[in-house]
Structure 1
Amino acid sequence: MANSPSLVALLGLLAVAGYQNRDRISEALKGVQGGTGGQAQGGLGGMLGGLGDLFNGKSSGGNVLTGGLNDLLDSFRGNGQKETADSWTTPGVPTQGLKAHDVEAAIGKDTLTQLAATTGISYDDLLQRLSSNIPDAVDRLTPEGRFPKTDDEARDSLLRTT
């Protein structure tokens, strides 16, 4: 399955800093951008670093977070995990968790291997981080089932402390 740059960037965000460490997202992403690994991975480091700009309130050229969110949900829904993905965005429905193999099946081993190399996180650790961070982050990004219309709105949802 081919993944969009927006999806890969969102996954990088969730893997590097995670929802629960949102106060450190910007610093972590700037570190990824500054490393040589991103250059070797076809500019993925630049995309992840661009997310750091989003979290510093700088304008982006498009809707990276919102596009990545839609792609992420489509990946899980298209992989037979529609009920699980829908639980993250449906008000009143308990948010279902993920297992590492669910993430691998929906995202694809090649994309995850590239992301692990770019972020410097081991493959197994990456799977663990994503399986624990994706449900909570998507739930936070879609308050009351409403999807963010802009990256600014998505950023505010992720960084909200209450």
Structure 2
Amino acid sequence: MEVKTYTQDRKLFSIGKMSGLLDSFLKNSNSLGNDSLKVDLNLFLEAASKQNVQFEFIRLNSFELDKKSHDISNAQNALIEAEYAIANSGLVVLDTSDADILLSVFLAETLHIIVPASKVLPSNEDLELVKGKVAVELGRGIASIHVRETNSQMDFSSKILRTMIYVIEDL
């Protein structure tokens, strides 16, 4: 699914500090190998609702998507929502202990992650201040607050061929 907005083309997203945080997050996330972009909520919903766009696994908190999902964690295409994004590292942070969501991170071939623009934080230290916990990096530019530690012997790089991160402007 490819979404390109007028806002993205014209760099009209926002002004000041928020714009700097978003630009920093997008740059750092892309450097981790993700395809990250800013997108308007209505344009995202329009693109994601098209009949030829299929997600076998959908878990969203901020809005409903009028799509059926099989709700299986080993889906080829998964759409999940991250609770936070960290500007200085490019990480998205999952604040969930839902095993299906965590499994979809490792098993989906194409992982689509949305994050509200208002949830982009400057640094990991800011996340720790907000949540009172440190996020543990799982790999692929994704971190979790609920995972206590990862075993360096385990290979968390999954069969994900592509990770798409959409920073939603209107949430």
Scaled by the length of structure 2, what TM-score is found?
0.25
Greater gyration radius:
2
**More strand by proportion, 1 or 2?**
2
**More helix by proportion, 1 or 2?**
1
